[in-house]
Amino acid sequence: MSVYDLIIKNGIVCTASDFYPADIGICGGKIAAIADSIDSSLAKEVIDAEGGIITPGGIDAHVHVDEPMKLLGDVVDTMGSATQSAVAGGTTTVIAFASQDVGLRGPKALSNSVRQAIDLYEEQTLYCDYGLHLIIARLEDESKQTCEELDDQLRNMYDDHGVSSVKVFMTYPGLQMSDYSILNTMYATRKNGITTMIHAENGDIVRWMTESLELQGLVQPYYHGVSRPTIVEGEATSRAITLATTMDTPILFVHVSSPEALDSIRKAQTSGLKVYAETCPQYMLLSDEDTKCHHDQSDKFEGAKNVCSPPLREKQNEQRIWKAMDNGTITIVSSDHCAYLYSSKFRGKHNAFDNGKGGGFRYIPNGMPGVCTRLPLLFDQGYLKNKLSSLMKFVELHCTNPAKIYGCYPKKGALLPGSSDADIVIWYPSKSKVPVKIRNEMLHHPCDYTPYEGFEVGNWPRYTLVHGKVVYKEGKLLQHNAEGHYLRRNTNSIPRNKWVNGWRPAYEKFGTPQQE
CATH label of the domain that carries residue 294: 3.20.20.140
Q: Is residue 500 part of a domain?
A: no
Region label for 333, one of left (φ > 0), alpha (ψ between -120 and 50) or beta (otherwise)? beta
Contact 132, 96 (CB under 8 A): yes
Note down the domain range covering 236. Answer: 59-392
d(CA 245, CA 274): 9
Q: Is residue 282 part of a domain?
A: yes
Contact 279, 324 (CB under 8 A): yes
Contact 101, 116 (CB under 8 A): yes
Q: Does residue 99 share a domain with residue 185?
A: yes
d(CA 246, CA 86): 38
Measured distance between the N- and C-terminal CA atoms of the chain, rounded to whole angstroms: 61
Q: Does residue 10 share a domain with residue 152?
A: no
Q: Is residue 511 part of a domain?
A: no
Q: Does residue 316 share a domain with residue 334?
A: yes
Encode 68-87: b = buried (16+ Cβ within 10 Å), e = exposed. bbebbeebbbbbbbbbbbbb
Q: Does residue 43 share a domain with residue 67?
A: no
Over residues 139-165, mean pLDDT? 85
Q: Does residue 232 share a domain with residue 131?
A: yes
Percent of the chain past pLDDT 90, that is, above it, reads 88
DSSP of 450-506? -TTTT-EES--EEEEEETTEEEEETTEE-GGG----B-------------SSS---T
d(CA 134, CA 126): 20
SS3 49: coil
So what's the pLDDT on residue 298?
Answer: 66
pTM of the model: 0.96
So what's the pLDDT on residue 55?
Answer: 98
Q: What is the pLDDT of residues 38-84, one digit of tens each?
A: 999 999 999 999 999 999 999 999 999 999 988 878 899 999 999 99
Over residues 414-426, mean pLDDT? 98
Encode 215-247: b = buried (16+ Cβ within 10 Å), e = exposed. eeeebbbbbbbbbbbbebbbbbbbbbbebbbeb
Q: Does residue 439 share a domain with residue 352?
A: no
Least reliable range by pLDDT among 171-185, 295-309, 415-429 = 295-309
In this prediction, residue 515 has a pLDDT band, given cuts at 50, 70 and 90, of very low
d(CA 80, CA 403): 21
Q: Output the domain CATH number for residue 16.
A: 2.30.40.10
Least reliable range by pLDDT among 89-98, 154-163, 337-346, 436-445 = 337-346
Q: Is the pLDDT of residue 229 over 60?
A: yes
Q: Is residue 449 part of a domain?
A: yes
Q: Does residue 306 share a domain with residue 216?
A: yes
d(CA 202, CA 225): 14
Q: Does residue 419 share a domain with residue 292?
A: no
Encode 307-327: b = buried (16+ Cβ within 10 Å), e = exposed. bbbbbbbeeebbebbbebbbe
Q: Is the pLDDT of residue 391 over 70?
A: yes
Alpha helices (H) along 216-257: 222-226, 230-247
Distance of CA 501 to the CA centre of its chain: 35
DSSP of 277-308? EEE-THHHH--GGGGS--S-TT-TTGGGGG--
Q: Is the pLDDT of residue 183 over 50?
A: yes
Q: Does residue 77 share a domain with residue 48?
A: no
Query: Cis peptide before 310, with omega less than 30 degrees from 0?
Result: yes
Nearest to 338 by CA among 369, 375, 310: 369
Q: Does residue 372 share a domain with residue 309?
A: yes
The chain-wide mean pLDDT, for the chain, equals 94
SS3 92: strand
Tally of domains in the chain: 2
